[in-house]
Chains A and B, each alone.
Chain A
Amino acid sequence: MNKAAALFLGLTLPFCLNAQISLGPTVATFGVLGGSTVTNTGSSVVAGNLGVSPGSAITGFPPGTVTGSINSANSLAATAQGELTTAYNLAAGAMSTSGVPANIGGLTLTPGVYTVASSLGLTGTVTLDGQGNPNSQFIFQIGSTLTTASGSSVLLINNAQASHVFWQVGTSATLGTTSSFAGNILALSSITVTTGATLQGRALARNGAVTLDTNTVNAPGFSPPPPPITPAPSSLILITTALMCLGMYQMRDRLLRPFRRG
């Protein structure tokens, strides 16, 4: 019986550990989430919600614009942080399928869990090949920092989706100027997106700051809530008001007489 249980566990555990990771429903609506602060310089555009928790400082919006909502230390941001921690731990706990060199520039990678013990760099282009499967998942377990060089890019081909790419960063991530990055950055500390970089994914920092500088961040699948409509009051209220005003205007002499006498 024990042998059978061990065999069952041995066969199923790797599948369980490498089960599809998905962000929680709340954090998935965020394009940018910080732990301490979110700071922006220039005309960044965040397609998705933006928030910070447990910190509260959000600066630089405007001139930056957010198509979703801005959430400073509110319950939505706190829930998103809780879901981020869960996703971070799941990504960190996934069973590694392969190691990668310290610089992945020029490589073409297939779906899997890639591990690097310390820092990961990207110079040039890394290609993520989804092999025709839109649910294919790429997880990068990075021991310390993630740094991309200026003008570097992450290229998604064969149905690879930015929403299914996870960069679990042990400390901090820095995206170089004008780089084009894809995937969800789940950083334990801070995320710095330097001038002109674009992110097709999410910048989610658990404890530290997220710093933007004239960037575009597109949270995959985010559809902004419809803007509020601005209906006029009902015409009955309006005409009643108008008639009351008219009545007062017509009777102004009578109404003002006591004041004139005084």
Chain B
Amino acid sequence: MFEQWWNEEDMSHGLVVPILIFWVIWRERDRWRALRSQPSAWGFGLLAAGAGLHFAGVLGVGLFAGSVALMISIAGAVLCLGGFPFLRMLAFPFALAAFMLPKLAFVYNQVTLPLQLLASRIAAGLLTLARIGVIREGNILDVGGHRVDVAEACNGIRYLFALGLMAVIFAYVADSKPWMRWALLAAAVPIAILANAVRVAVAGWLPFLDSGFPHAVSGWLIFTLCLAPLILLRELFNKVYVSCQSRA
């Protein structure tokens, strides 16, 4: 997993996830201390399942299976030593751990091209809306003779992972309601896709932003700007929730 985090820019956010998990556990330390250990034999079942999946991974199912096996084994160990109360406490860190799992190649390959085409289509639409002439040929945009290629690395998956993780952490620190975490995670998907399309459209429109350092900076700035709608949505959700509660 570490090798993938280190070598693949799509997955490099995985380097931060273990730190976040330890931070969440440390933040909840008072609740941990209050819990009473209730070891459960079900943990051995999970450990066995983890070992079986790991074995399958070694036989060739892949890195993803091996990584899921590691998570299941940790859950099994927690269940054996602390029981269900401790496992419940770990539910959120386990959800965070999903972000550090390696790419599931089958799913990744299925979504890559549709995401590329979606980014190209939305970017072409945005440029047309702005009355900028653009011709789209598949995933290549031609803006007045200046062509940009919406390649695999431009499909927006980095925005999706980073904004999704940010949404979950934001909901965790700002709000304890589980539905808020899911709502923000769901909202992060269209925001990330739209932000990536804006990034591509800007690179097509302004040729000096289509490569190198200026391109990286523009991508970073657009991502930073798309954090604002997430924060505004959270405020909106909260107001609606408070209003509903007060009526009730």
Contact = CB atoms under 8 A, between A and B. Distances in A.
Interface string B212-224: 0001100110011
Interface string A232-248: 11111111111101100
Interface stretch (B25-33, B62-70, B147-155): B147-155
Contact of B12 (A224, A227, A234): A234
A241 B11 CA distance: 15
Given A230-B150, A238-B223, A246-B170, A66 B145 contact: yes
Contact of A232 (B11, B166, B196): B196
Interface string B172-203: 01100000000000000000000010011001
A238 B158 contact: yes
B13 interface: yes
A260 to B, nearest CB: 20
Contact of A228 (B10, B15, B149): B149
Given A233-B223, A246-B166, A65 B13 contact: no
A65 B162 contact: no
A242 B163 contact: yes
A155 B154 CA distance: 45
A238 B150 contact: no
Given A230-B151, A232-B156, A245 B224 contact: yes
A237 B220 CA distance: 8
Contact of A236 (B15, B145, B147, B203): B15
B145 A232 contact: no
B196 A242 contact: no
A65 B144 contact: yes
Interface string A59-73: 001100111000000
Nearest to A64: B145
B21 interface: no
Contact-residue bracket for chain B: 35 or more
Given A229-B151, A242-B227, A235 B162 contact: yes
A250 interface: yes
A228 B211 contact: yes
A14 B180 CA distance: 87
B163 A232 contact: no
Interface in A107-140: none
Interface string A36-68: 000000000000000000000000011001110
B149 A235 contact: no
Interface residues of A, number: 28
B148 A230 contact: yes
B148 A236 contact: no
B149 to A, nearest CB: 4
B150 A67 contact: no
Contact of A233 (B16, B145, B220): B220
B145 A246 contact: no
A15 interface: no
Contacts of A240: 16
Contacts of A65: 142, 144-145
B165 interface: yes
A232 B154 contact: yes
A232 B115 CA distance: 13
Contacts of A62: 133, 144-145
Contact of A242 (B11, B145, B162, B216): B162
A200 B211 CA distance: 32
Contacts of A226: 149
Nearest to A68: B145
Contacts of B215: 230-231
B161 interface: yes
B231 interface: yes
Contacts of A249: 231
Counting from the closest, the 4 A-B pairs by CB-CB distance are A236-B12, A238-B162, A231-B153, A227-B147
27 contacts: A66-B145, A227-B140, A227-B147, A229-B151, A229-B154, A230-B150, A230-B154, A230-B215, A231-B151, A231-B153, A231-B154, A232-B196, A232-B199, A233-B158, A233-B223, A235-B9, A235-B11, A235-B162, A236-B16, A238-B162, A240-B16, A241-B223, A241-B224, A245-B227, A246-B169, A246-B170, A250-B174
